[in-house]
Structure 1
Amino acid sequence: MRGRFANSMIHKRSLYLILAGVSVALGLCGCAGTSSEAKKAASRAAQVWKPSGPSASGPTLAIVGGRRITMRDVDSVLATAPPAIREEYSDPAEFKTLVERIAQQWALYLEAEKTGIEDDPAYRRELATAQRQMLIKYYYQKAMRSLPAIPDSAMQRFYEQHPDEFKVSGRARVRHIQAPTLAKAREVVKRLRSGSTWEEVCTKYSNDKGSATTGGLLGYVTTDSDLVPAIGKAPAIVAAAFKLKEGETSEPLKSDRGWHVIRADQQSPAGQLPFKDVTPRIRASLEGERNDLFESTLMDSLKRQYGIVLFPDSVQAALNPARSPAELFAQAQADVSPRDRIELFERLISKFPNDKSAVQAAFMIGFTYAEELKDYPAARAAFEKFLREHPDSDLVPSAKWMIENMGSGTPPPGVGSPSGGSLEVLPAPGGDSKNSKP
């Protein structure tokens, strides 16, 4: 019996296939017909149906509202799925589940059609968008197919003109026996040359226990680098790896890790990849350049043909819509950074110097310097400027109070922290906010 998880996975895979193959709902190959016919079929009672003779669409697997679902329909859905998912549906139980899902999807389509969802404005807008995208897609694909193929001569010319792009480094696979001293390394060489096998000596004498059990295998080195896997920078080992013949043993070699005796195999010299091996890569590169040129030329042509005109000022205005002084003040109040908040207050004052929000902003600059940044000289300068420019404001007593008392830890009555929310009018100490004015 299938567990809950397995059944859930089957359902998800089936749903994926149904959604991927949207043609199931709108164009089942064995269910062709007009919308009016579908509506009539859906309104009729369930019918008893028996398969007829052989069909080019394959065997009939199910019937929904008088409509056949055939093997061709299932194949059209499976064709949209990745190979791994297609393979899973070779299992009879999961194939049956897929057929059931396709039948359910068709039933949902008939029900949606019967309820008149086709007349829903939102549906029609989305359908129109999808149609535009499909038209663009097929137009573009058709235009791309009409482009000339990349000739072999162009690929050969590219290969000859860009030799550096196809150069490959030499590489060799290295094994080592690591010894702590030169004397021990020489003993290793002596034993190897006297007939002991590499594996025996490596297991017994190498003090690199991590590789001793694998024949001292380190990995590959290349001619364009002095790095040796698990060793680090070791130019002597790299150089020897490309001088040794396969099966030969090196003399002791020094690295920062100690002394090494190495062997190398699977050597390949540096050189240039053959043309036949890089043809697919060259073709893809040239096709990309061709396609980019085609698209650029096409867009320039369409721009002229249809009179495309952009309005940069309008684009900028759309990104930064005009805001009222009160909105700018609220934006500044909401900013979590005191310095950014001060900058936003200054912008508000510069843009709307005569608005009451600018008066409040001028006061809040001093308040922010004093209460949050503890920059009392800057706060004093801001409050003194406020008093000079707004001598009739109801906030004058608060500004004077701040000059005399800032740093004491007690804000003036009625004045809240900028982070406390929107602040339209800051009342004087002990004043009535309803009767206050800037």
Structure 2
Amino acid sequence: MLRHAITAMAAFAVLFTGCGAGNDPVVAKIKGLTIRTSQIDSLFQGIADKAERTKKVREYITSELDKQAQYNQALKMGFHKLPENKAVLENITMIEAASYYANEVLKKNWGFTEAEVEKRYKAGRELYRQDKPRVDSVATPEQQKALAAFEKDPYKPLDVVRPKVLRNMLMELPAIKAARAERIKALGENPDSQRIYEAEDAMVNDYVGQLDSTVMEQLKEQHKVKVHEYTPQVNDTELRESWEKTKQSYKRKPDMEVQFISVTDRKLAYDVVDRVNKKNEDFLKLQKKYSTDKAALGKTLTVSGTDASVPFIVGDSKQVYPTIMYLPVGKISNPIAIQGGPKEVFYIFKIISRAAEELMSFEEARASAHERCMAEKQLKIPLDYVLAEVDNKKITAEMVFSLLYKISPMTAERYRTAEGRKALVERYYLRFLLFSMKVRELGLQKTPALVKRIADMRKNFLVSDFKSSYLDVTFGVPERKLKKYFEAHPDSFMVDKKLEPYEKVKNRVVTYVMVTDDMIKDQYSYNIEDYSNNDGSPKPLADVARTIRAELLGMQRKYAMDDLMRSYRKAFSAKVYVKEYAFDELLTPGQLFEEAKKLHEARNYVEAKNKYLEIRYKFRDFKSQPDICMALAQIYVEQKNFNKAIQEYRRYLRMFPDDTSKYKAQFMIGFVYSENLNDKEKAIAAYQAVLDNYPTCELAESAKFMIEHLKTGKEFIPLDEDTAAGAKPKS
């Protein structure tokens, strides 16, 4: 597999250079990270196809090295020292330690440490001896192998018998022993072994099911945990001020006058609704015919906004008001089911009138206003307020809220309410803190798996933050350059004649620095065909400037990121020792062009097009730009993007007027119009241009024939598009 391939190629001295081959050669490395052959083998051994495997391995190595490079750069720039990030990193250590304890100690080992479980397993290994494998008189190789393995270690592995080991350990605990004795006693005299086992099994299930909460309560008691509620005070002055600002939201529920029809059949109820709404039948006539409540016939009833009950209705009629409160006057409701006695009754209400909404007085709104004031004050809890104490150490709101750093504002806001904060303190912060303290108490903080997990999570966070707050924002543009532009162009960042804060408009500053107005004008004039109407006339620059800026920004960002990653790799000594997995080199335009042609020939049109466009954008003086125009036009034809193909042919004619093959581009414009877009008029005009401008070219006769064909319908054999107008039509 890969190791054998590497060994063979190394013999030709083309792959490894000072990488310490040994038994596990280094495939790639960068400061802080080494990728070895064994790692690659374990990850990609299931991929049989060599080309596919090479591609996947190359992508993996590039991704891992670039991630480490970004991590190194984040450390170099001090991202781990930023106050918010420092808090997040500390929380990651706490959370991962707590998770390790919950999963590896409580869930996996029922509260025992792995060392305790292993010790108990070794002490009682005879209980877990395997049966000796059967061997024929003439043992097969497989039987010999199985027997040798048994003789070397005749015991079942710990992970196979872990539940039995844990059960035995649990039954040895004094409290469990006592509880077991009580349960067995309750079974009566001389219970059989099956009943005893079932009783033990029930105890185990109860113990394991409650273990997390039991341990949590024990830890709270051990560490003298106290939780403090935050109950802000609201005085009458504050209450009245809040009401004055928001009193438009405190309105009395208006009284309504209604009529109703009651039926006990659901189908009939919906039929009545349809007859009123769709057939415009009279509501009172239907009421008289179908309504079961004869006392309400023809009557208009008042539904009080204060009481919300409806006269004549048996059952809970208060559910009616919120259902019909916004129903327009004159309209009817859908059936509303109310349990009135033994049968469910369906009511259809018609709104006759609704009183005007009135504002509540201060006294009427007092309770609601007080609730709102309290909610607002809860959100503004002082950061130094002590929400809990652990071993007499104060846990402040700021410490608890540090769990909310770098998460979505919506989620953070939810946990800042009184109810959300209670969950944040008790369900999360204290659990993380106490479980992580238990890890230290048990001496598990240096467990290799936990140390690696913490390191990986801290790295992932820093890389993510580095990308989101720096790379994806500035794309490596120095902060001083951004601020200098902001200060030099204040008019670009004014809102209502006021200069916006720099941090608020930073993204826009980056855009203007990376894509200048001159770049937009240059792109417009160089690629005018891309910004033209279907008839070929150019759109005004003002109409397409925003689009051009977005296009250029996308390209600038891509190339800036590529350059940044190359610089980071170099700065941190990234090396790939296997040639076929090496990074993409910074290619010359000629090399890029050759790659694009290979992709084009392989009909990988998307990647070929991207390569061609990269050359056009980055290397405008490249000698093969005319060939790129023709190649792109051919790709667009293959992709059935015919208008773009015509744009490319027109670009060719405009940019390379002295090229000896320009008549081919003119001919192909006519060909695309006639054979793909079915536009005879434009096709004839394009073919005529071939005759007028290039009368002696090799395609003049073909153009003449095509015009004749379009005018008379004469049959012909179409050109092979792959030759881009190289063959003469035949009749």
TM-score range, shorter chain: 0.3 to 0.5
The TM-score with structure 1 as length reference comes to 0.40
Considering Cα pairs closer than 8 Å and 6+ residues apart, tell me whether 1 or 2 has the greater RCO.
2
Q: Which protein has the bigger helix share? A: 2
